[in-house]
């Protein structure tokens, strides 16, 4: 079972110890399932953040900085194993924070939390470097080889939709490269990030390597972290507007940034697609995690000959979804993360009515007549009939909804998919392999799936273009961000 430290009250984790915030401020963690308070969280002030950053800076020069790559990798493998050993604790923490179905968190979030450490522990042991032999002007020879060192203290600001998965996706490679971290999780999902401090201590990660501060963005822990002059790099996943603010603050001192931001992702369904797979895949990409997935689909373009059938089948699938808490019988979709976010999603539902969209299904708040009415649920929703200029087609909603449009040609659908300020991900459904290879490279996104969705190899590049972010994560792309590279030239 969860310890009290990691469940009822969330303190800061600084220099290997759980501490009350010097600020004296606390805030409430609300359950998205019941709308009730489930924890009190200490809010870090500027002095708390300074202590965390300085602890991280000191750890770079301490035992952590003296470890060999093999020793560091071994410790991270221990972290991975410890997460798996405490699987049920992390599972309970994750679903308490998010309200997502237990089956989803069990299959995706917690396993990836452990894998993010073991994967990068393996990769860092095999990281190669450049080597060039060069003729010199005097007829001699020189050799050039690459060297790398940790970037330093990394500020990690992680989101609420996949709290453990996306936090460890950053912390794993950062620590593998020898950095230290100060992590600010979302204020609405503090559980697993706090709990991970216990794991770090248990496996012997040196004090100050992993630090956790809780709080909000502007005027709180997030802003204090991104402004701190001893932070050497900042990695953030979240909204584009917040990413722009972080990038502005990182410019002072020329700190490096990695930003994975918003998306208004499209799926393209060609008439020759296997409709069973296309419908099933689109059901997942639209409604998984209540639509709160940066890679999720909110725009669906279906070739006209199969448009009506596809809409009817997706409607049937949406109406079969069972809404409820993590353990509700047959649950297929949980609540939104907060009352505030539900209000945002519902504002788009209301806009759809105002713009006279064809509401295929959903469009409101479900009424259950039981305890679920206290949670932050909305109906899975499908629209058709809106123009490409509509805010519902152009803006990220981050809820369980999509707009479906017909198209008639490849050129038309490629132009419509690309006519958006975001460029994170897309899915293409077709049985014509030549078409798949022809269309995929023309889509202006960082990640294209063909006949699948959310199929990830952690060694591959992940990130977006346009307003969907800067930089790439995954494999050597993560290792590149978390290291400083140097060339060493030796004249022989």
The number of C-alpha atoms within 13 Å of 482 and in the hemisphere containing its C-beta is 28
pLDDT at 26 over 60: yes
- DSSP conformational letter for 368: -
Query: Average pLDDT in the 89-115 region?
Result: 97
**Contact predicate 284/295, CB 8 Å:** no
260 belongs to the catalytic site: yes
End-to-end CA distance of the chain: 62
How many CB atoms lie under 10 A from the CB of residue 253?
12
pLDDT score at 128: 85
* Band (13; pLDDT cuts 50, 70, 90): very high
pLDDT tens, 308-360? 999 999 999 999 999 999 999 999 999 999 999 999 999 999 999 999 999 99
The candidate with the shortest Cα–Cα distance to 162, out of 44, 29, 288, 342, is 288
pLDDT score at 112: 97
Q: How far apart are CA 92 and CA 157, in angstroms?
A: 22
How many CB atoms lie under 10 A from the CB of residue 440?
16
- Considering the candidates 187, 223, 290, 294, report the single residue annotated as catalytic: 294
Q: How far apart are CA 299 and CA 265, in angstroms?
A: 6
Lowest mean pLDDT among 3-17, 80-94, 265-279, 382-396: 3-17
Phi, psi torsion values for 183, nearest 5 degrees: -105, 130
Q: How far apart are CA 202 and CA 289, in angstroms?
A: 31
406 - beta bridge partners? Answer: 302
Query: Average pLDDT in the 145-165 region?
Result: 97
pLDDT at 7 over 80: no
Q: What percent of the chain has pLDDT over 90?
A: 97
What domains does the chain contain, in order, with CATH numbers? 4-261+468-491 (3.40.605.10), 265-457 (3.40.309.10)
Q: How far apart are CA 443 and CA 129, in angstroms?
A: 32
Written as six digits, the tokens of 87 are 């699987």
Tell how far CA 186 is from the center of its chain.
Answer: 11
The candidate with the shortest Cα–Cα distance to 159, out of 248, 84, 246, 61, is 246
Query: Average pLDDT in the 417-445 region?
Result: 98
Written as six digits, the tokens of 292 are 């709160």
Q: What is the β-pairing status of strands 422-423 and 358-361?
A: unpaired
Q: How far apart are CA 429 and CA 268, in angstroms?
A: 6
Q: How far apart are CA 169 and CA 176, in angstroms?
A: 11
pLDDT tens, 35-80? 999 999 999 999 999 999 999 999 999 999 999 999 999 999 999 9
What is the residue-averaged pLDDT of the chain?
96
pLDDT at 428 over 80: yes
pLDDT at 1 over 70: no
pLDDT score at 8: 83
Residue 380 contacts by C-beta under 8 Å, 6 or more apart in sequence? 286, 287, 318, 319, 321, 333, 361, 362, 400, 401
Q: For the chain, how many helices (H) and strands (E)?
A: 17, 23
**DSSP per residue, 235-258:** EEES-HHHHHHHHHHHTTTT-EEE
**Contact predicate 76/121, CB 8 Å:** yes
- Considering the candidates 43, 94, 260, 379, report the single residue annotated as catalytic: 260
pTM of the model: 0.95
Based on C-alpha coordinates, what's the Rg of the chain?
24
Written as six digits, the tokens of 347 are 């504002």
The candidate with the shortest Cα–Cα distance to 328, out of 372, 379, 281, is 372
Longest dimension (CA), the chain: 87
Written as six digits, the tokens of 133 are 């032999």
Q: How far apart are CA 292 and CA 297, in angstroms?
A: 10
Between the alpha carbon of residue 136 and those of residues 127, 132, 147, 489, the distances in Å are 29, 12, 21, 11
302 - beta bridge partners? Answer: 269, 406
Q: What is the β-pairing status of strands 381-384 and 358-361?
A: antiparallel
177 belongs to the catalytic site: no
Collapsing DSSP to helix, strand or coil, 10 comes out as strand
**DSSP per residue, 465-478:** EETTEES-BSHHHH
Q: What percent of the chain has pLDDT over 70?
A: 99
């Amino acid at each position: 079972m969860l310890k009290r430290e990691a469940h009822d009250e969330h303190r800061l984790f600084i220099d290997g110890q759980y501490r009350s915030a010097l600020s004296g401020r606390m805030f409430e963690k609300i359950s998205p399932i019941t709308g009730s308070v489930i924890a009190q969280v200490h809010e870090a002030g500027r002095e708390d953040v300074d202590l965390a950053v300085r602890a991280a800076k000191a750890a770079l020069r301490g035992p952590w900085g003296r470890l060999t790559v093999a020793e560091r990798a071994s410790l991270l493998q221990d972290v991975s194993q410890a997460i798996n050993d405490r699987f049920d604790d992390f599972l309970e923490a994750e679903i308490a924070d998010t309200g997502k179905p237990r089956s989803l968190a069990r299959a995706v979030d917690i396993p990836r939390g452990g894998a993010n450490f073991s994967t990068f522990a393996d990769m860092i042991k095999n990281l190669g470097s450049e080597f060039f032999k060069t003729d010199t002007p005097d007829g001699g020879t020189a050799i050039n080889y690459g060297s790398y060192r940790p970037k330093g203290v990394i500020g990690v600001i992680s989101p609420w939709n996949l709290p453990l998965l996306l936090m460890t996706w950053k912390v794993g490679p950062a620590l593998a490269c020898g950095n230290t971290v100060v992590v600010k999780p979302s204020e609405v999902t503090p559980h697993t990030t706090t709990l991970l401090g216990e794991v770090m201590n248990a496996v012997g990660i040196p004090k100050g390597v992993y630090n956790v501060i809780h709080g909000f963005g502007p005027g709180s822990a997030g802003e204090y972290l991104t402004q701190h002059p001893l932070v050497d790099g900042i990695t953030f996943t979240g909204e584009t507007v917040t990413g722009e603010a972080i990038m502005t603050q990182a410019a002072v001192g020329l700190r490096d940034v990695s930003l994975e931001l918003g998306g208004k992702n499209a799926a393209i369904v060609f008439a020759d697609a296997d409709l069973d797979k296309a419908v099933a895949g689109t059901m997942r990409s639209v409604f998984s995690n209540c639509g709160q997935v940066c890679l999720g689909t909110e725009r669906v373009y279906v070739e006209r000959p199969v448009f009506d059938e596809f809409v009817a089948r997706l409607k049937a699938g949406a109406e079969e979804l069972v809404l409820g808490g993590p353990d509700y019988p047959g649950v297929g979709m949980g609540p939104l993360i907060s009352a505030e976010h539900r209000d945002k999603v519902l504002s788009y539902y209301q806009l759809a009515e105002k713009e006279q969209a064809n509401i295929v299904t959903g469009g409101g708040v479900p009424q259950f007549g039981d305890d679920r009415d206290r949670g932050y649920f909305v109906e899975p929703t499908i629209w058709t009939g809106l123009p490409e200029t509509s805010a519902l087609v152009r803006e990220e909603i981050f809820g369980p909804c999509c707009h479906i449009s017909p198209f008639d040609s490849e050129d038309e659908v490629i132009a419509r998919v690309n006519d958006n300020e975001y460029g994170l991900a897309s899915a293409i459904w077709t049985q014509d392999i030549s078409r798949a290879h022809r269309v995929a490279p023309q889509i202006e996104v960082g990640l294209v799936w063909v006949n699948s969705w959310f199929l990830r190899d952690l060694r591959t590049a992940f990130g977006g273009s346009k307003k969907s972010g800067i930089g790439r994560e995954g494999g050597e792309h993560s290792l590149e961000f978390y290291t400083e590279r140097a060339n060493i030239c030796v004249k022989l």
